[in-house]
Amino acid sequence: MRSVIRNERRTAVLLSAGTAVLAAVDLALGQSLVLSGLYVVAPALAGALVGPGVVVLVTAWAAGLALLVAVQTGIREMPGQGSAGAAIVLVGLFSALAAGRRLRRERAYVQLSRVAEVAQATIIRPIPDRLGGLGFATVYRSAADEAQVGGDAYAALLTPYGVRLLVGDVKGKGLEAVAVAADLLATFRESAAGEPTLGELARHLETALRPQLGPEDFVTVLLAQFRGDELTLLSCGHPWPLLRRAGTVREVGIARSSRPLGLGVRPYEQTLRFAAGDELLVFTDGLIEARDRLGVYFDPAGVLAATPAEEVGPPVLARLTAALDAHVTGRLSDDLAAVLVRHSPDDAPPATPGPAAAPPTPAHADPTPPAGNREPSPT
């Protein structure tokens, strides 16, 4: 509030000083109100920059200077001086009214922004920095300037089966997508600790969301379960995560991705090693589908690979989002949610390089699950 008042005072001083310079030039010319048409500039600019009270003061100052010039140079020399003064007052009046309407719109926008912030905090609750021997860092961006929350969602809970993470992306935008995202998170928080497998959890999520989804609506979801040095993943049409280990970055190829929620999920779980020091980046497609002016897609793996190995947690996401903003010149075309998970138990030994994550199974390959993976039996 104080900064706003200081800015208004600074603007009023500059406009008043400019009008004083105009009056000095007018006096130097020696003729009454030769520059009369320029005296309305200060009130007009004030209407776009400051509040109505300051507009009235600037208008009074401009009108007073115009009257002073008229008196000093001889009122009789310029019969139109009265109309010039009336024009200043009239412009000032309309500028004050416009400033009042602008302030009301700005206050309404601020109020809506506060409501949106509360809604975001309610729907997408912050993940603790540490949870079950894991470190978490998150980022959420809405593509709409006027919105704080969209159809992307994330949540993490400590359950009897380990820490479970959900990152989801609802098809579409607007209030419908926000409502589905809210129900997705509510259902996950309610059932994450009660379903023994991620496959059963995925089926439960789809059953709960189906009444809200139309024939062509769907939700992509990546579910992850962290238990000791074991990481279990289940993708329902969601982008593959990235694994950062000992300074290298690998794409975790999902061997068999299920269809998204709402299109008939067929869950398949796969397990891999997640050692101390490893970091997993899970994100929505707003990250990898962000393009620059030439249509080039953003490459998060390249940014992570260029990040110093000693830089972990939130600084990694800060570097990633800075690179993203530079790539798209600050304008996202889709919502973005990203969660960076680091295996960092208090007494953990340093991470050692491990084998690359299993690549995705080609469409023509044998669909038999590789060792260590498992497919839940249908319920």
Query: Cβ of 259: how many Cβ atoms within 10 Å?
Result: 15
In angstroms, the Cα distances linking 148 to 89, 105, 139 are 42, 18, 12
What does the alpha-carbon distance between residue 306 and residue 322 come to, in Å, rounded to a whole number? 13
Same domain? For 319 and 173 the reply is: yes
Structure tokens at 142: 């809405």
Q: What is the residue type of 43?
A: P
Residue 353 in any domain: the answer is no
Q: What is the pLDDT of residue 112?
A: 59
What does the alpha-carbon distance between residue 358 and residue 253 come to, in Å, rounded to a whole number? 6
Q: What is the pLDDT of residue 34?
A: 55
Same domain? For 94 and 168 the reply is: no
Q: What is the pLDDT of residue 286?
A: 83
Q: Is 225 helix (H, G, I), strand (E, B) or coil?
A: strand
Q: Nearest to residue 219, comparing CAs of 261, 259, 173?
A: 261
Q: Nearest to residue 272, comparing CAs of 336, 225, 308, 332?
A: 225
| CATH code of the domain containing 237 | 3.60.40.10
Q: What is the pLDDT of residue 165?
A: 96
Residue 358 in any domain: the answer is no
What pairs with residue 134 in β-bridges? 131, 343
What does the alpha-carbon distance between residue 281 and residue 301 come to, in Å, rounded to a whole number? 10
Same domain? For 178 and 204 the reply is: yes
Residue 379 in any domain: the answer is no
Residue 324 in any domain: the answer is yes
What does the alpha-carbon distance between residue 78 and residue 42 come to, in Å, rounded to a whole number? 22
Same domain? For 296 and 159 the reply is: yes
Q: Look-up: residue for tokens 């138990």?
A: 345
pLDDT digits (tens, 9 = 90+) for 279-303: 999 998 888 888 888 888 888 998 9
In angstroms, the Cα distances linking 160 to 130, 196, 241, 378 are 17, 9, 24, 22
In this prediction, the residues of the chain whose per-residue pLDDT falls under 50 are 76-80, 347-379
Same domain? For 131 and 8 the reply is: no
Q: What is the pLDDT of residue 359?
A: 37
Residue 378 in any domain: the answer is no
Same domain? For 156 and 100 the reply is: no
Q: What's the predicted TM-score (pTM) here?
A: 0.62
Residue 370 in any domain: the answer is no
- Select from 82, 117, 152 the last residue of a domain: 117
Q: What is the pLDDT of residue 378?
A: 38
Query: Cβ of 53: how many Cβ atoms within 10 Å?
Result: 13
Same domain? For 220 and 170 the reply is: yes
Q: Nearest to residue 306, comparing CAs of 357, 244, 349?
A: 244
Same domain? For 182 and 324 the reply is: yes
Q: What is the pLDDT of residue 333?
A: 66
* Contact by Cβ (8 Å): 297, 290: yes
Same domain? For 338 and 241 the reply is: yes
The tally of domains found in the chain comes to 2
Q: What is the pLDDT of residue 360?
A: 37
What does the alpha-carbon distance between residue 25 and residue 20 come to, in Å, rounded to a whole number? 9
pLDDT digits (tens, 9 = 90+) for 177-215: 788 888 899 999 999 999 999 999 999 999 998 888 877
Q: Nearest to residue 91, comparing CAs of 140, 167, 36?
A: 36
Same domain? For 244 and 330 the reply is: yes
Same domain? For 22 and 79 the reply is: yes
Same domain? For 102 and 131 the reply is: no
Q: What is the pLDDT of residue 153?
A: 87
Domain membership of residue 187 as a residue range: 126-343
Query: Cβ of 190: how many Cβ atoms within 10 Å?
Result: 11
